[in-house]
Amino acid sequence: MSSKNYAIKAEQRDGAGKGAARALRRDHKIPAVIYGDGKAPITIAMPAKEANVEYNKGHMFTTLCDLEVGGEKHLVLARDVQLHPVSDNVLHIDFLRVTPKTKIKVNVPVDLRSFEGSPGEKEKGILNITRHDVELLCVATSIPDSIEVDASWADIGDSIKSSNVKLPDGATFVIDDRDFTIATVSAPRAIIEDEPEEGEEGAAEGEEGAEGEAAEGDAAEGDAKPEGE
């Protein structure tokens, strides 16, 4: 199920170019554009604080936005966000107009929490996630927050593949020519303790024996009386 849409109010802007964009940012706003659905693009300015808050929530590319511009509402989805190379603040956003008929490709996070309590988890197996998200083709108004992957059956040595995933109605994997791997379960890493290698212990005992024999020989020589006494 998708999250509730978020809402932002913006205003239409006429100026374009770097100078206009810098002026907007000085006024704590950022430039953006609305395009798609066979209509002319609209250039807008929106509050920088709200744009950064929504972007940092991590949902902007999968959650629809009710974007109000001059009293008119647009149902949109962020498709591209430009960030400052140092501060990571949002500099510009491209919004796509969507309708219940719009189909788009979107990356959706993978949820593998069901691995907890699985046979592999009980045996201390290690879950290796090869795809933290998957690309779906779905209706823009029905983008799932995440894809729940059933891993409750997985044991050590098993691979969790796309064929193990039940997708929401109307959604398909963009990769449709193979059964790709999402995660694997490997055996726990063995703890290797420092132990003497084979032969070292015997050699050590041999050295101790030789040292003991030498010491005994030295003592015997010390106890012997010189000849002629």
Same domain, 138 and 78: no
In a domain, 191, yes or no: no
Is the pTM higher than 0.85? The answer reads no
- Whether residue 78 sits in one domain with residue 17: yes
- Which range marks the domain in which residue 141 is found? 105-186
Of the three residues 52, 69, 98, the one that is the final residue of a domain is 98
Q: What span, in angstroms and rounded, lies between the C-alpha atoms of 146 and 108? A: 5
The answer to the question of residue 198 being in a domain is no
CB 181 within 8 A of CB 161: yes
Last residue in a domain, options 98, 122, 154: 98
CB-based burial label for 177 (10 Å; 0-12, 13-18, 19+): exposed
The low-confidence residues of the chain, meaning pLDDT below 50, are: 1-2, 191-194, 214-215, 219-222, 224-229
176-213 pLDDT tens trace: 999 999 999 999 986 434 455 555 555 555 555 555 55
Q: What is the CATH number of the domain that holds 111?
A: 2.170.120.20
